[in-house]
């Protein structure tokens, strides 16, 4: 016992200064990249571009630049240029190095601290470009300043040489070219659509700035976009609503500053009954809102109630429009720019500056008062929309209370068709939403009853894109799903009551299955967005084929993989064999016909050795096969559903599932040629 105590004491004494790891320079970034860019997948990779672009936008917001150029280059490189002042290259008095090298290789160094740099900024508080440098295999800075072109190159965040002038230059500006490190990122190819959508949003948020985007990765298929919006976020509102019917003719817009805080707000009501609200602080999207959004909502409810009472839209003294009533059908953007933003979390999901709320509330309330008085026709349409929403909400509340009455979620009144799991721990439990009784039967027999629940759907659920809450709750399939999840819906939604950590959509790999999956995703996106944002929604990936040669069995998940297997076994397509046999014409010689028959016979023998089974539906799999391929956590493939760009997702759901036919027709026509293996 004494020996053990001595060992323990020696171990404790060994914990001294030498056990403390010190990460110097940019080493912390490479050690924990997720702390700086969110993750090392697609979102983190694209975040590198956003950080460099933010520096150019900071220059534009400070009045020193008006053009930013982004180029996706071959071999995975990216070039970002602006025509701002150019990063200083003279010697920094503290570091005794060039200011450029200091900015590029030191965390928390840049023009965003102290005085004389930027009044407002959107980057990572001075760590942005140095983080990009740290996470790049190679990077090159080109600075046009003082009539010269200054250059410095880096490898994994460390300078290869000193800053030097390599020639003359006209004008000023900064160009950053970088190659992300493939040992850091799990995804290394930049997505053109993601880049375009984000930069278009930035062009809307900084009115008057030109953002030019070029894809130079394939010379023969080069593409480009050039964005410039004089109307700023008012133009953005029109873009967001271009697939919806506007309820008010004139877009509301205000842009004012108070106490060094600039407030820019635009909104427009549509005939839809969803709300689209986007909050930004220093051009950074805040998906969870914050103090600026709270101020906006408070002013909107208060001013509309005051106007409604004054003009006899509300007749009873105790009658008031709620915040939900006045936001139905509203598309709004709230953008603030301030010197010292305080965000909750590194990803800046929420703005925390308390001083922003009263300023936003005051500026917006004053401007909305004037707008309603000067535009009585629009004011009337807005109030009519709000009153209709209030009536519908009352009907929905009544329907919800009927459906989800007290005690409905305590496990005693769960849907009869739900085959629940025995575990009551939500963290380990999962629910499969399956298509039809046939697939449901296989899933119930094949599952692990301890932690896997099965909820079969009969037919296709209601398209919630076109339905109010009361109509939704009258649909038995949706009602069963809501009760099974346990979170409730609408105003009573509570994520903490979710009964399953993983909600898995499992449908057939055909047109009907894809339609049911889309209907379910629409339901989750419109009424359970928190489930998507928190990573609770998954899509199962059942195999399309089962390939067996002797005792060797392989499951194949796509056509391309099957073709590789056919090449491996030197098997021709059965349809091709049939065509070859049928196309024997009278002109063929006897030798030709014998050769064709010989080839066909040889391939039939090969096919006899290799059995290829095509699964047209989940119901065609026996329970053990379904478990092994799609439900066993050790072997299954699943896709987690995420929202990369909320505005783009909104637009796509509206096009595909909304009432307007023309946008959907255009969407299909423009993408028809890219569809492969269409199942009709």
Over residues 548-603, the pLDDT tens digits come to 877 888 888 888 888 888 887 776 654 433 333 344 444 445 555 555 555 555 55
Q: What is the pLDDT of residue 118?
A: 55
What are the distances in angstroms from CA 590 to CA 86, 514, 593, 594?
Answer: 79, 49, 5, 6
CATH entry 3.10.20.600 includes domain 233-401: no
Q: Is 597:580 a contact under the CB 8 Å cutoff?
A: no
Whether residue 435 lies in the annotated active site:
yes
Q: Which of 508, 650, 651, 654 is catalytic?
A: 508
- Rounded distance between C-alpha atoms, residue 264 and residue 60, angstroms: 16
Picking from 120, 136, 222, 135, the residue whose alpha carbon sits closest to that of residue 178 is: 136
Q: Which of 197, 381, 512, 561 is catalytic?
A: 512
Q: What is the pLDDT of residue 561?
A: 83
- Rounded distance between C-alpha atoms, residue 439 and residue 507, angstroms: 8
Q: What is the pLDDT of residue 128?
A: 76
Helix (H) or strand (E) holding 658: none
Q: Which residues pair with 537 in a beta bridge?
A: 503
Q: Specify the domain boundaries for CATH 3.30.230.10 within the chain.
A: 233-401
Picking from 411, 416, 427, the residue whose alpha carbon sits closest to that of residue 500 is: 427
Q: Which of 510, 573, 594, 595 is catalytic?
A: 510
Picking from 672, 660, 529, 671, the residue whose alpha carbon sits closest to that of residue 242 is: 660
Q: What is the DSSP letter of 17?
A: G
What are the distances in angstroms from CA 68 to CA 55, 214, 439?
Answer: 10, 11, 53
Long-range contacts of 549-557 (CB under 8 A, 24+ apart): 549/609, 549/610, 549/611, 550/609, 555/628, 555/629, 557/637
Q: What is the pLDDT of residue 593?
A: 56
Put residue 485 in one of left, alpha, beta given phi > 0 → left and psi -120 to 50 → alpha: alpha
Q: Is 476:462 a contact under the CB 8 Å cutoff?
A: no
Q: Which of 435, 465, 470, 477 is catalytic?
A: 435
Residue with tokens 């016992």: 1
Tell me which architecture the domain covering 27-227 has in CATH.
2-Layer Sandwich (3.30)
Torsion angles phi and psi, residue 498, rounded to 5:
-60, 125
Pairing of strands 430-435, 330-337: unpaired
Q: Which stretches in the chain have pLDDT values below 50?
A: 7-24, 112-116, 123-127, 406-412, 574-588, 604-606, 678-680
Q: Under DSSP, is residue 485 helix (H, G, I), strand (E, B) or coil? A: helix
Q: What is the pLDDT of residue 58?
A: 87
Q: Specify the domain boundaries for CATH 3.30.565.10 within the chain.
A: 27-227
Q: What is the pLDDT of residue 395?
A: 78
Q: What is the pLDDT of residues 133-175, one digit of tens each?
A: 999 999 999 999 999 999 999 999 999 999 999 999 999 999 9
Q: At what angle do helices 192-205 and 646-657 cross, to 10 degrees?
A: 110
What are the distances in angstroms from CA 127 to CA 37, 107, 663?
Answer: 11, 5, 42
Q: At what angle do helices 233-240 and 192-205 cross, to 10 degrees?
A: 130
Whether residue 510 lies in the annotated active site:
yes
Q: Which residues contact 632 (CB under 8 A, 6 or more apart)?
A: none
Whether residue 420 lies in the annotated active site:
no
């Amino acid at each position: 016992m004494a020996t053990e105590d001595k060992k323990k004491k020696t171990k404790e004494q060994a914990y001294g200064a030498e056990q403390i790891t010190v990460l110097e320079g940019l080493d912390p970034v490479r050690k924990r990249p997720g702390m700086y860019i969110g993750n090392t997948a697609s979102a983190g990779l694209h975040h590198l571009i956003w950080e460099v672009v933010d520096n150019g936008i900071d220059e534009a917001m400070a009045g020193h630049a008006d053009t930013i150029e982004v180029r996706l280059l071959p071999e995975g490189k990216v070039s970002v240029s602006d025509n701002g002042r150019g990063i200083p290259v003279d010697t920094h008095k503290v570091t005794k190095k060039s200011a450029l090298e200091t900015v590029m290789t030191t965390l928390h160094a840049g023009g965003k601290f102290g005085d004389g740099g930027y009044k407002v900024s959107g980057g990572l508080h001075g760590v942005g470009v140095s983080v990009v440098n740290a996470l790049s295999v190679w990077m090159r800075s080109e600075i046009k300043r003082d009539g010269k072109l200054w250059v410095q190159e880096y490898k994994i965040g460390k300078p290869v040489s000193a800053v030097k002038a390599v020639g003359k230059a006209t004008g000023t500006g900064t160009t950053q070219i970088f190659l992300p490190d493939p040992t850091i990122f799990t995804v290394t190819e930049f997505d053109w659509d993601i880049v375009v959508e984000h930069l278009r949003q930035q062009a809307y948020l900084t009115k008057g700035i030109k953002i030019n985007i070029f894809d130079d990765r394939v010379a023969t298929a080069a593409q480009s976009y050039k964005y410039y919006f004089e109307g700023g976020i008012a133009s953005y509102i029109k873009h967001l609503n271009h697939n919806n019917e506007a309820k008010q003719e004139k877009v509301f817009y205000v842009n004012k500053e108070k106490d060094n805080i600039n407030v820019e707000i635009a909104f427009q009501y549509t005939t839809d009954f969803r709300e689209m609200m986007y909050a930004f602080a220093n051009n950074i999207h805040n998906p969870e809102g914050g103090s600026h959004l709270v101020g906006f909502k408070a002013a909107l409810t208060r001013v509309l109630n005051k106007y409604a009472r004054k003009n006899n839209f509300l007749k009873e003294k105790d009658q008031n429009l709620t915040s939900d009533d006045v936001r139905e059908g509203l598309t709004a953007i709230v953008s603030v720019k301030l010197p010292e933003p305080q965000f909750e979390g590194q990803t800046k999901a929420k703005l925390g500056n308390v001083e922003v709320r009263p300023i936003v509330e005051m500026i917006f309330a004053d401007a909305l008062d004037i707008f309603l008085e000067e535009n009585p026709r629009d004011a009337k349409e807005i109030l009519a929309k709000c009153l209709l929403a209030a009536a519908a909400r009352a009907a929905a509340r009544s329907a919800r209370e009927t459906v989800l009455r007290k005690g409905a979620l305590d496990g005693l009144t769960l849907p009869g068709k739900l085959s629940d799991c025995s575990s009551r721990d939500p963290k380990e439990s999962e629910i499969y939403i399956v298509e039809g009784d046939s697939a449901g039967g296989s899933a119930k027999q094949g599952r692990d009853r301890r932690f896997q629940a099965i909820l079969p759907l009969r037919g296709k659920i209601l398209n919630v894109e076109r339905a109010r809450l009361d109509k939704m709750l009258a649909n038995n399939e949706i009602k069963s799903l809501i009760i099974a999840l346990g979170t409730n819906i609408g105003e009573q939604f509570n994520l903490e009551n979710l009964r399953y950590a993983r909600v898995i959509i499992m449908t057939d790999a055909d047109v009907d299955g894809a339609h049911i999956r889309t209907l379910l995703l629409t339901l989750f996106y419109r009424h359970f967005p928190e489930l998507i944002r928190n990573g609770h929604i998954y899509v199962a990936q059942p195999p399309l084929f089962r390939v067996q040669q002797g005792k060797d069995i392989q499951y194949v998940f796509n056509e391309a993989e099957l073709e590789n297997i056919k090449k491996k076994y030197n098997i021709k397509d059965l349809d091709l064999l049939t065509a070859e046999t049928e196309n024997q014409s009278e002109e063929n010689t006897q030798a030709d016909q014998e050769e064709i028959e010989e080839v066909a016979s040889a391939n039939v023998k090969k096919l006899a050795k290799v059995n290829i089974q095509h699964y047209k539906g989940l119901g065609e799999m026996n329970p053990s096969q379904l478990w092994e391929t799609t439900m066993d956590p050790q072997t299954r493939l699943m896709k987690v559903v995420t929202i990369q760009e909320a505005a783009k997702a909104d637009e796509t759901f509206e096009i595909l599932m909304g009432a307007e036919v023309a946008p959907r027709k255009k969407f299909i026509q423009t993408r028809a040629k890219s569809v492969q293996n269409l199942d009709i």
